[in-house]
Amino acid sequence: MAFTNEQMERYSRHIILSEVGVKGQKKLLNSKVLIIGAGGLGAPVGMYLAAAGVGTIGIADADTVDLSNLQRQVIHTTADVGKPKVESAKETMLAINPDITVNTYHEFVLASNIADIVKDYDFVIDGTDNFPAKFLINDACVLAKKPFSHAGIIRFQGQLMTYVPGEGPCYRCVFKSPPPPDAVPTCSQAGVIGAMGGVIGSLQAMEAIKYIIGKGELLTGQLLTYDALKMEFRKIKLPHGDHCAVCGKEPTITELFDYEQAVCGVNYDE
């Protein structure tokens, strides 16, 4: 596949990088990334991956755009309120870059459908807002041997880690099972500074891009934490959980299941 003149111009700042070049840009155009959650994290991830020319982007979210989303979910605009988030996100991504394909999944990601969605993608982004979904994404990616970026944000804090099959611990190695509903505050209860999604989501997009082009070091075996008030980034080394229930030597989780969904406040949406 030869680049068109328009593609050469559009991706010129990538192509000029020795780590990317024509070869890396082709890898991006041939890659497929699934974003689960079209919110605070999914918004910047989707926009940067679309702009970068990730050829196929899947976006999964069951919700519609709410006015309270717009403080941070920059992929949606005021005119999108009431519209399915996946549609609004698709429109923005295609407006940024009509060179790509966007697949939408206007549904909750559950044990019953996640394996079927994940199987078509090279890399998965966890942009969800609840622990049942985060554990499900982890288990599905471990069982399907798919790399993924986990992230969480709250208040002025964020964190992320990258799972690559066979190259380090999974989310469940660190956190064995979800906390009970309401035991740990969520964004709708505790708030989140809007730009936090931008910082952490952009880092998730960076991990996906590095994985696709095969350059640099990923956050495998490391949790990167960010404290915006202290303006401090820290990398915490994560040991592999040999006894991990899903990726350990003797796994007890061999098929997917749903934890009870913790509903956040009146509206499930954050």
Partner 1 sequence: MTITVAGNEKEYDAGLTVTTLIAAEEVETPEYVTVSINDEFVASGDFETTTLKDGDNVEFLYFMGGGR
What's the CA angle centered on 204, arms 210 and 49, to 5 degrees? 70
Chain Cα centroid distance, residue 188? 19
- Minimum gap (Å) between residue 50 Cβ and partner 1: 18
- Minimum gap (Å) between residue 245 Cβ and partner 1: 13
Q: Which amino acid is at 112?
A: S
Q: Which of 28/238 has CB closer to partner 1?
A: 238
- Minimum gap (Å) between residue 121 Cβ and partner 1: 18
Per CB under 8 A, residues contacting partner 1 are: 37-42, 61, 63, 69, 73, 126-131, 134, 151-154, 157-159, 173-175, 179, 183-187, 190, 192, 197, 223, 234, 236-239, 241, 269-270
Cα distances (Å, whole numbers) of residue 255 to 110, 136, 143, 144: 12, 10, 8, 10
Q: Which amino acid is at 103?
A: N
The answer to whether 204 and 45 are in contact (CB under 8 A) is yes
- Minimum gap (Å) between residue 206 Cβ and partner 1: 17
In order, the DSSP letters of the chain are: -PPPHHHHHHTHHHHTSTTTHHHHHHHHHH-EEEEE--STTHHHHHHHHHHHT-SEEEEE---B--GGGTTT-TTS-GGGTTSBHHHHHHHHHHHH-TTSEEEEE-S---TTTHHHHHTT-SEEEE--SSHHHHHHHHHHHHHHT--EEEEEEEBTEEEEEEE-TTSS--HHHHS-SPPPTTSS--HHHH-B-HHHHHHHHHHHHHHHHHHHHT-S---TTEEEEEETTTTEEEEEE----TT-TTTSSS-S--S--PPPP---SSSS--
Q: Which of 60/209 has CB closer to partner 1?
A: 60
- Minimum gap (Å) between residue 263 Cβ and partner 1: 13
Q: Which of 73/97 has CB closer to partner 1?
A: 73
Q: Which of 50/264 has CB closer to partner 1?
A: 264
- Minimum gap (Å) between residue 119 Cβ and partner 1: 23
Q: Which of 3/175 has CB closer to partner 1?
A: 175
Q: Which of 53/127 has CB closer to partner 1?
A: 127
- Minimum gap (Å) between residue 238 Cβ and partner 1: 8
- Minimum gap (Å) between residue 232 Cβ and partner 1: 8
Q: Which of 22/195 has CB closer to partner 1?
A: 195
Q: Which of 25/222 has CB closer to partner 1?
A: 222
